[in-house]
Chains A and B, each alone.
Chain A
């Protein structure tokens, strides 16, 4: 069983988000970068599956050399090898084209990624890859087991859950409940140093979108405090003043 896990590198969740260059670039000064948490869940589940029934897990990232610490961490968690496509990840379409081009001749049984990156929140990768590779795609998977070339899985749907069976190969995106993240141990960290990390040059794909500027939301005005003894007043304020009920 061959599994490909697509990972991206994102600012740590505690980051205070700010911008530079006249609000056109994310300010990465002093920012700690991590593997996107949902991608890490996809990786962990991929490892659980291949440990149970044999196989390999390759991680792939589209990024410049600064993403290598995150890729090494993925190897320390347990991936067998890694590929970095040496390009600035301009937009989701561009990234998907790069990954699809790499994956098309590799015959992966399963391609997993996170449900969205916690920086750009696009959530488009599984669907884009599915269409580009002509494979079924399932978003927000909360459980997945592989049996005899079939994926038995559960996913979130609007207002509920769905159980599905899909004949492999397929593309899927990880939702929170899929598994618990794994902390790399010392042996894994040592082994990661010598695991293969291949750098591949990008294909000439065009980005369809371009982020032109960023803005932080306006600060909230002062909070209106209500006396707890008179908590019932909240309902009246929400109706007459805020007009939301």
Chain B
């Protein structure tokens, strides 16, 4: 079984979510007598490719033409479909990030492939081809069978660990013959917050609710997040009243996340909020109301006032980090 993986780079660095995808593919390949072809699109310096081999890529298809200098679903999906046809691959794997979700359906439509997003398991191939995905924003799982000969999977970030699987990957320079002349889209500006952990891919998330009493108190959330190297998030009411940007809202109508650690401070734990965070490996709830529903969904709980409890935790986190260093 030949497996194509979208090895996405950001400013020339391969993303952690893509390394997870390569590790994932390498483990499937090992069980199915297969091989992994990582597809790099855009400009990446040659010395970075060794990293893809380290996590299990047997081969690298490098699409480095100028047309790929900017990310567009239209062009990137053509490169991935080109790679799949060229290698005669049966499986295409991307990470279920914003960019992954942009290219994956276009690749699937070009190849007539069955597609499943939000995948949280390795495929089982004993009886057809089946994977598990999360549905209802984390309130349930669904097992899905894919009936087509080519399959596309978008795997949930932070669901599979990065595993070393040292290989010396050969590099092949590819050309999908795409011209930028017919492109209807034009990127004007890309703005990324620098030095911040990306919420959708974060391993640790510190989240605040209305119990924080106002946006002026968010420095406490940020201080704990910065100390631990975590991303910051918030509940729906907090983004609705514009204490925090919508992009931080986690829950059923916001972002669904799956970090290793989710610390909820001053969030009661409404069913819609829990839906978006319940897949977190470890949950900590801090709330002054002992009846807050969050305590039923949490692994650790502290009944107390955020403004009393948080400074103590921040101090302990700083001491812990300085001992680690």
- Spell out A's residues near B (CB within 8 Å): 11, 13-14, 16-17, 19, 37-38, 91-93, 96, 118-128, 130-132, 135-140, 142, 155-167, 170, 175-177, 206-217, 220-221, 223-228, 231-239, 242, 244-245
Contact = CB atoms under 8 A, between A and B. Distances in A.
B117 A214 contact: no
Contact of A159 (B196, B285, B309): B196
Contacts of B45: none
Contact of B300 (A19, A166, A175, A223): A223
9 contacts: A91-B114, A121-B256, A139-B98, A164-B185, A214-B143, A215-B141, A216-B140, A217-B140, A231-B312
B110 to A, nearest CB: 6
Contacts of B190: 157, 160-162
B117 A210 contact: no
Interface of B: 10, 15, 71-74, 77, 97-99, 101-106, 108-110, 112-118, 130, 134-148, 183-193, 196, 198, 200-201, 203-204, 228, 246-247, 249, 252-254, 256, 260-261, 271-272, 275, 278-279, 281-285, 295-305, 308-309, 312-313, 315-317, 319-320
Given A121-B136, A124-B108, 16 more contacts: A38-B253, A92-B105, A127-B73, A128-B108, A136-B185, A139-B102, A157-B98, A163-B188, A208-B113, A210-B147, A211-B144, A212-B143, A214-B141, A215-B143, A220-B296, A245-B261
Contacts of A244: 203-204, 260-261, 281-282
A216 B102 CA distance: 28
Q: Is the interface of A mostly helix, strand, loop or mixed?
A: mixed
Given A127-B73, A225-B302, A231-B304, A37 B253 contact: yes
The 9 A-B residue pairs whose C-beta atoms are closest, nearest first, are A228-B304, A127-B105, A208-B114, A160-B192, A131-B109, A232-B316, A159-B198, A124-B105, A235-B316
B280 to A, nearest CB: 9
A157 B192 contact: yes
A245 B271 contact: no
Contact of B302 (A123, A155, A156, A228): A228
Contacts of A208: 108, 112-115, 146-148
A51 B208 CA distance: 38
Contacts of B118: 121-122
A212 B198 contact: no
A93 B320 CA distance: 50
B317 A138 contact: no
Contacts of B109: 93, 96, 127-128, 131-132
Contacts, number: 276
Contacts of B74: 130, 136-137
Contact of A138 (B140, B185, B261): B185
Given A162-B187, A245-B228, A13 B300 contact: no
Contact of A228 (B191, B279, B309, B317): B309
Given A212-B145, A217-B141, A140 B113 contact: no
B134 A121 contact: yes
A209 B106 contact: no
Given A158-B200, A162-B190, A123 B117 contact: yes
Given A176-B253, A216-B140, A234-B316, A166 B186 contact: yes
A234 B186 contact: no
Contact of A213 (B143, B261, B300): B143
Contacts of A119: 135-136
B99 A157 contact: yes
A185 B235 CA distance: 29
Nearest to A128: B105
B299 A242 contact: yes
Which of B114, B135, B188, B203 has its CB near the most chain A CB atoms (within 10 A)? Answer: B135
Contacts of A214: 135, 140-143
Contacts of A118: 136-137, 252-253
A161 B191 contact: yes
Given A96-B109, A127-B104, A130-B106, A224 B191 contact: no
Which of B103, B299, B320 has its CB near the most chain A CB atoms (within 10 A)? Answer: B299
A119 B275 CA distance: 11
A33 B99 CA distance: 30
Given A121-B134, A124-B117, A242 B261 contact: yes
Nearest to B127: A212
A151 to B, nearest CB: 9
Given A136-B184, A236-B316, A210 B144 contact: yes
Nearest to B17: A158
Contact of B114 (A17, A93, A237): A93
Contact of B147 (A122, A130, A170, A209): A209
Contact of B249 (A11, A92, A164, A176): A176
Contacts of A91: 114
A107 B305 CA distance: 58
Contacts of B300: 223-226, 234, 237-238, 242
